[in-house]
Structure 1
C-alpha cells in the first residue's frame, strides 16, 4: 500500500519567522495521520524549519539542488549541504525551474541520481504545457520526461523516487485538470514505469498530482485510484489550508 504524500511547495514565500510559526501551528495536528506531510521551503528557512519540526512527523524538503558535490557554482546548494541541516526531500525539475532557469531532462536525471546516492528523496516533476495538451501530446511528452529522468536509475532505487505530475497550464492559474484526467495521465505514467521496471516496482512508486490543488478539491483528487498525493503551491501557505489538505 502506497502511503499518500502531501507536499507544500512554498516557492519564494515566507520569512524564517513566518515559516516557523507555520510549522508550530501544524506539527501537532498532523500526528497520527496516515499521510506523509512535507513542506518544501526556500533555502533560508530550512534550518529553522527542521528545528521547529524536530520530533514530529512533519518532513522538510528543499525546492532544488545541484548535481555536483561542490565547486564553483555560485548560488547553488549541494545534496550534502541539505543533508547537513536535516532536509529529507528535494523537488527536482519543477516546471518553473525548467521554464525560468534552464532545467532539462538531463539535469533532472543527474540531480535524481545524486539525491538517491546521498539518501535524499527526490520529487521528480513532469507535465505538459497547454499547447502540448491541446495538440494531444500530453502522454508522449510525459513519457519522454519520465524515461529520461529515470535513465540509469536501478530498479531497487526507483521506488525511492516520488513523481509529481503537474500540468503546467494548471499551476497557479486556478485551473485544475479534472480528477479523472489527472488519474488517467498518472496511470499512464505508471505504465511507463512498468515498461522500465516491471509491475512490482511500478506499483511501489508514489505519483502525486499538482496544479491548483486546494482544500475544496483535494478529496476528489485523492479518491482516484492512481493518485498518491499532491504537490501544492498557494494552498499550502496557510496552516488551516495545509491541515485540510493533509486530512483529506
Structure 2
C-alpha cells in the first residue's frame, strides 16, 4: 500500500504566531481523519522552528518550501538543507511551479537541490506539471516526462525510494479552469509509467500527489483514483477545517 499524504504548502502566508495557531488547530482535529493519512505542513522559513516545536509528538510532519542548492557559504539570503533539517523538518518541496516560473529554477539547479536534500535526510516533494499553453498544445506529457527524466532519473534506487512526486496542472490553478478527476488520473498514471521505465516495480511504491485546486468538495473524487495518493494543498491548507476535510477525502 502506498502512503496516503495530504501536504499543506502555506506559501508566503501567515505571520509566525498565526502559523503556530494554524498548526495547533490542525493537530487538534487530526483525530477526526483516518490514521491512514499522513499530514505534512510546509510553513515559511520564519515559522519552521516554532511550528516544528508545536507539532512535536502529534504525528504531523513539517516540511520547508525550498532549500539552497549549496551546502553552506557566502550565499546571502539562502537557507541550507542542513539548517532546515536541524529545525526538525522531514520534507522539502522542490521544483514548485512558482519557483520555476518566478525564480527561473531549472533542472540543473534542482539536481543540486535534490542532492542537498538527500545529504541531509530530507524527503523531497518534487513538483512537475505543465502550463496552459503547454496543455493546449498537447505537450503536457512531454513536459512532465522531461521534468522527471532530467532530475528524478539521476537518483539512485535508494534515493528514489524516499521520494514524493507532486503533479501540478499549472493551468488549473487560479485560472478558473478545472482539471477533472479523470484528467488527474490520466497524468498520474503516465507519471508512474515514466518512473517505471527507470525504476521498475519501485514506481508502484512512489506516492504521487495532486496539486491542482484540491478542496473539500472534490478531494474524495480525486483521491478515489487509482494513481492519486493525496494532495499538495495551497489555499485550502490555510484553514485547518478545510485542510482536515481534504484529509477526510480518504475513506476510513
TM-score of the aligned structures, taking structure 2 as reference length: 0.95
Say which of 133, 141, 144 aligns to 1:142. 144
Say which of 177, 180, 184 aligns to 1:178. 180
Alpha-carbon shift at residue 174 of structure 1 (Å):
4.5
Per-residue deviation, residues 23-57 of structure 1 (Å, max 9, x unmatched): 11121322462111011110001101001001111
Cα separation, 2, equivalents of 1:173 and 1:146: 25
Cα separation, 1, equivalents of 2:22 and 2:176: 23
Equivalent in the alignment of 2:10? 10
Equivalent in the alignment of 2:86? 84
Alpha-carbon shift at residue 113 of structure 1 (Å):
2.1
2:146 is aligned with 1:132: no
Cα separation, 1, equivalents of 2:72 and 2:174: 34
Contact 1:38 1:59 in 2 (8 A): yes
Cα separation, 1, equivalents of 2:160 and 2:129: 19
Alignment of 1:1-248 (within 5 A): 1-31=1-31, 33-198=35-200, 200-248=201-249
Alpha-carbon shift at residue 172 of structure 1 (Å):
3.0
Cα separation, 1, equivalents of 2:79 and 2:242: 30
Cα separation, 2, equivalents of 1:86 and 1:127: 29
Structure 2 unaligned spans of 5+: none
User: Once superposed, what is the RMSD of the aligned Cα atoms?
Assistant: 1.1
1:30 counterpart SS class: helix
The total of aligned residue pairs comes to 247
